Amino acid sequence: MTEQTAAERELAELIVASLNLDSVAPAEIGPDAPLFGGTLGLDSIDALEIALAVSKRYGFQLRSDNPDNRRIFGSLRALAEHIQQHRPQ
Amino acid sequence: MTVAQWQGRKEGGGRFALWLIRSIGLTCGRGVARLILYPITLYFFFRRGHERRASRAFLTRALGRPAGVPDVLRHIHAFASITLDRVFLLARGMRGFDIDIVGMEALERRLDGGRGVLLLGAHVGSFEVLRVLALKRPQVPLRVVLDKAQTPVMTELLEALAPDIGNNVIDASRGSTDVVLAMHEAAQRGAMVALLGDRGRAHEAMRRVPFFGEPAPFPAAPWLIASTLQLPVVLCFGLYLGGNRYRLMFEPYAEDTTIPRAGRDAALDALIRGYAARLEAMVREHPYNWFNFYDFWHDPAPDGGADPGRADQPDLRGGHLA
């Protein structure tokens, strides 16, 4: 499995905490593994929870009209990259 | 007929027929157009066997006696009337209609909170009355979650009549992450977010709760969204009372919709059971307003809910939500 970057680890921890994923350790989330479906198997309500948690932690909002949402929510890596690019510095 | 089959079923009437009815209605007036509803009712009665049988089975339950041909004709006629009235409501607003609004103050009190309200409707009566009311009160934005792909011909015709209303739709056929994010954005602006809470999509997470004496599947998603966004839930019914009379009802249902992750199913079921009971009472009083023309109870229950089978994509259409 590819190693998580620091930003990915931080996001993984946020996801696990905000979704109460008891059976998943943040380090176990593969950066390129699908967040939705796959072994994690999150759904759109989870996506909403993640979006709320991201906006609280990083101070910017994931938007419904972003045409790239499918890709952004596709993996830990994509979501972490999107956050790093858009969070207020 | 299952939901999947129903959703796969061709829109009744076709483009030309809908256009014709709309044009006759707008040129000759509602009175003339309503005359055409009689042959249309007969046409549907004879040509749409699935819907006819579903109507009869439903009315037998709701009326508490064996439903006959006149009952089914009345049911189809009510549906046709409301469909026709959508044209007039969108083209001309409430003019020419007698619309009684109940519960507006209770709704406004919740809107004053500024955190948004989830308006939960059902396939009962006319949702168009609500959308027209919202146009008259632009200070309170309304976003309606609808699947534009389900009735494309109708959607196109109606949106041409009232583009403003079309712009207020959150299209449920988009990816469901987009849909829930759009609902969140609307709630942040203090808007009313309306969706229909009685019909799940194929493979959506459903919970079975008693409805007219037998467990029926209801979608979990509206409640999970309300919980996540911390929205109060207000029920909304646009009842058709015959002739040109409608009653638009708002009923506060739940202020705090928190569904904890631990014990999620029990909390969900409690909310949905209460909703189904209220819906049943409303539909018993207005049985000809029930517009789920398929076997609402025996739709094969998706396996979502108990053990998430999980979807490939975060998608309200195909995803298990629980």
The answer to whether the CB atoms of B181 and A64 lie below 8 A apart is yes
The answer to whether the CB atoms of A45 and B321 lie below 8 A apart is yes
What mean pLDDT value characterizes chain B?
84
Residues contacting A65, CB < 8 A, separation 6+: B178, B182
The answer to whether the CB atoms of B321 and A44 lie below 8 A apart is yes
pLDDT band at A22 (very low <50, low <70, confident <90, very high): confident
Query: B298 and B195 in contact (C-beta within 8 Å)?
Result: no
Distance CA A64, CA B260 (A): 25
Distance CA B179, CA B222 (A): 12
> What confidence score (pLDDT) does residue B205 get?
86
pLDDT tens for B230-241 read 999 999 999 999
Tokens encoding B202: 């194929």
Residues in chain B whose Cβ is within 8 Å of chain A = 175-182, 184-185, 221, 224-225, 228-229, 261-262, 308, 310-316, 319-322
pLDDT tens for B126-136 read 988 988 888 77
Residue B45 phi, psi dihedral angles, 5° rounding: -55, -45
The residue-averaged pLDDT of B257-277 equals 93
ipTM for the predicted complex comes to 0.91
Q: Alpha helices, DSSP H only, in chain B?
A: 3-8, 14-28, 30-47, 49-63, 69-92, 104-111, 128-136, 152-161, 163-167, 176-188, 221-229, 264-285
Half-sphere exposure of B202 (CA within 13 A, CB side): 10
**Lowest mean pLDDT: which of A13-22, B7-16, B126-135, B141-150?**
B7-16
Looking at the complex, does the CB of residue A76 fall below 8 Å from at least one CB of chain B?
Answer: no
What is the torsional sign of CA B176, B275, B12, B90? negative
Distance CA B223, CA B227 (A): 6
pLDDT band at B270 (very low <50, low <70, confident <90, very high): very high
CA distance A4 to chain B (A): 23
> What confidence score (pLDDT) does residue B236 get?
96
Residues contacting B51, CB < 8 A, separation 6+: B44, B76, B293, B294
- Residue identified by tokens 């041409």 is B160
> What confidence score (pLDDT) does residue B148 get?
80
Query: B320 and A43 in contact (C-beta within 8 Å)?
Result: yes
Nearest to B94 by CA among B131, B132, B127, B134: B132
Instruction: Name which of A48, A54, A71, A73 to mutate to probe chain B: the one with the most chain B Cβ atoms within 10 A of its Cβ.
Output: A48
